[in-house]
Amino acid sequence: MIPDLHPEELFDKAAAGTITASEQVTLDAHLASCAACRFEREVALDFAAMPMPNLDVDRLVSNALTARASENLAPRRRRLNPAFAVAAALFAFGSFAAVGQWSGVLPRLVQAFVAPVPAPAPTPTPALTHPRPKHTTVVPHEEAEAVSPPPVVEAPPPPPPIPAPMPVVATHPSPSPARHQVADVSAAVPSAARTPVAVEDTTPPIPVVRVATATPSPVVAPPVVLDAPAGFEAANQARLRGDHVAAIAGYRQLLATWPHSPEAALTQATLGRLLLDQGDPVAALRHLEAYLAGTDLSLREEVLSARAVAFMHLGRGPDEVAAWKLLLAQYPRSIHVARAQARLEALNAAP
Amino acid sequence: MTDAVRPLNDAAERRRSALAELADRAATGDTEATGQLLKALAPSMIRSAQQLLGASHADLDDVVQQSLIGLVQALPSFRGECTVHHFASRIVARTAVATRRRGHVRLDRQDDSVDVDSLERLPDSNTDRVDAERRRDLVRNLMATLPAEQAETLALRIVLGFSLEEVATSTGVPLNTVRSRVRLAKTALKKRIEADPRLLEALEVES
């Protein structure tokens, strides 16, 4: 039987070389009878004997600095408190239910949910007060994960004073647990809508109501409202969790939709770096140079380095030399100095 | 302390002070200091990640990357209770343990860190290496199943070689709590060893 009590302090003293002779005797006696401690000692040596892995320290550090600079911008955007989102969702639904009951929308909705009819072909919803973005199609969760750009959670718009159907929560299905929390609220709304059953619909339909009831899922459909900070943050999150495909798609979407936003400059740098790491120096170079053409300086040092690396991958020796020299001239104390000098030496040695 | 040891300790102390100063500057947003700090700590963080995950683990690069970013994000909360090196190691340990736990189900069936083909080709003289990898894997797999606090303690203590006091200061928990976690982790380790006849034989357990 292996004993459960282990002289941990004696192990520490032995490791520090401060163990006394009598303590050593005690430790040896314990080791003779305790397989767990013998194992621990042996495996500690095994771990210490592992060779150093061959990872590119410069690249990892550079990526971390890029990520830091990107995230410096993120806190400017007010984050949506999940509790607020839930409260807002409930408030919006409550308002909708009250107004719907008053105007006859709710009975028709209840009827639609209790006795669903075959769904008609999707029709546009002109009565909505907020423009619908592209991704309003309701898709199953798994499918949404596969096809959608990075998820974004937005605060619901305030309820308007007129009885118009409102989106309950502007969410998009997301693989992250925190966002599931909000998405689940909107998913729960239809069941809540089913609760007040047995309401006779005696009021004549109102045109705006007909629009809402024509589509069987107006309450479920969560319109996605994207903005540049949201898109930037979502793409950053995708990048940090290693989903580079989603990150690249998110950054590209941001550049296409909000090319003049403050986030666009950093996106050029981050996307360039990401594409470079993904082995696409041509596309990377395009974004890196777009960043350098702008006025943002926060990532300039990193971008100059990445640009030189892109030239290296493309075999554009003279451009690479010029890029490294520019970096050295502008950032003589850069963390990339050693690499720049090594590359310059290598290139000068070439015929 | 002998005269021979003192200069080494002084050098280590100077290095610790330099890192602490860099950490202070980096915490205020000094990009240059952040870059220098990351460059100084990255090799040991890479090594820690490799020890915790295995040399050829698919997520090794990502874990190092996340740890570096995590370190930068956590610097403002660093109060100097432990060394910067230990602070960084703890971040790596947490990130690696979390990664290991996420991949636990998959790793139960397949271990990326062991190249079966290469093991089969190993000559008899390399069986020590195979045994060493087997022991390391046992600890890594155990970390994926233990409660998070115990797994982190096990990682710091056994894999990264922290003393009890270093574990306590870097995790910010009382020494007795660390003792308790180590004891519980070792109890779990004992069960693993007892369930592995080959290890039992190798360790020559006296039952």
Domains of chain A: 8-48 (no CATH), 60-76+229-349 (1.25.40.10), 82-214 (no CATH)
SS (H, E, C) chain A: CCCCCCCHHHHHHHHHCCCCHHHHHHHHHHHHHCHHHHHHHHHHHHHHCCCCCCCCHHHHHHHHHHHHHHHHHHHHCCCCCHHHHHHHHHHHHHHHHHHHHHHCHHHHHHHHHHCCCCCCCCCCCCCCCCCCCCCCCCCCHHHHHHHCCCCCCCCCCCCCCCCCCCCCCCCCCCCCHHHHHHHHHHHHHHHHHHCCCCCCCCCCCCHHHHHHHHCCCCCCCCCCCCCHHHHHHHHHHHHHCCCHHHHHHHHHHHHHHCCCCHHHHHHHHHHHHHHHHCCCHHHHHHHHHHHHCCCCCCCHHHHHHHHHHHHHHHCCHHHHHHHHHHHHHHCCCCCCHHHHHHHHHHHHHCC
Determine whether the interchain pair B55/A53 forms a contact, defined as Cβ–Cβ distance below 8 Å: yes
pLDDT at residue A153 is higher than 80: no
Q: What is the pTM of this model?
A: 0.50
What distances in angstroms separate CA A293 from CA A12, A289, A290, B93, one per listed residue? 57, 6, 5, 40
Output Rg (C-alpha) for chain A, integer angstroms: 30
For the ranges A188-192, A343-347, B38-42, B100-104, which has the lowest average pLDDT?
A: A188-192
Of A9, A46, A71, the CB nearest to B135: A46
In the prediction, which pLDDT does B119 show?
45
pLDDT at residue B118 is higher than 60: no
In the prediction, which pLDDT does B6 show?
59
Of B65, B182, B199, the CB nearest to A60: B65
Of B31, B64, B132, the CB nearest to A46: B132
Highest mean pLDDT among A42-56, A66-80, A92-106: A42-56
Question: Which of chain A's residues have a Cβ under 8 Å away from the Cβ of B189?
Answer: 36, 39-40
Give the Cα separation of A40 and A309 in Å (integer).
44
pLDDT (tens digit, 9 = 90+) per residue, B153-179?
999 999 999 999 999 999 989 999 999
In the prediction, which pLDDT does A161 show?
39
Of B39, B135, B161, the CB nearest to A39: B135
pLDDT at residue B134 is higher than 60: yes
Say if residue B114 is exposed, middle or buried (CB neighbours under 10 Å; 0-12, 13-18, 19+).
middle
Q: How is residue B204 annotated by DSSP?
A: T
pLDDT at residue B107 is higher than 70: no
pLDDT at residue A106 is higher than 80: no
pLDDT at residue A43 is higher than 60: yes
For the ranges A75-79, A299-303, B30-34, which has the lowest average pLDDT?
A: A75-79
In the prediction, which pLDDT does A71 show?
64
- Span A108-132, mean pLDDT? 44
pLDDT (tens digit, 9 = 90+) per residue, A264-297?
888 999 999 889 888 888 899 989 988 888 888 7
In chain A, what is the straight-line distance between the N-terminal and C-terminal CA atoms, in Å? 71
In the prediction, which pLDDT does B79 show?
84
What residue segments make up the domains of chain B, in order of their start? Answer: 5-203
ipTM over 0.85 threshold:
no
In the prediction, which pLDDT does B182 show?
92
Give the Cα separation of B38 and B19 in Å (integer).
10
- Span B138-161, mean pLDDT? 91
Confidence category of residue A349, pLDDT binned at 50, 70, 90: low
Q: What is the mean pLDDT of chain A?
A: 66
Give the Cα separation of A341 and A339 in Å (integer).
5
Determine whether the interchain pair B39/A55 forms a contact, defined as Cβ–Cβ distance below 8 Å: no
Determine whether the interchain pair A55/B205 forms a contact, defined as Cβ–Cβ distance below 8 Å: no
Determine whether the interchain pair B203/A63 forms a contact, defined as Cβ–Cβ distance below 8 Å: no
Determine whether the interchain pair B68/A63 forms a contact, defined as Cβ–Cβ distance below 8 Å: yes
Q: Which of 3.90.1150.10, 3.30.70.120, 1.10.1740.10, 1.20.200.10 is the CATH number of B5-203?
A: 1.10.1740.10
- Span B58-86, mean pLDDT? 89
CA distance A270 to chain B (A): 14
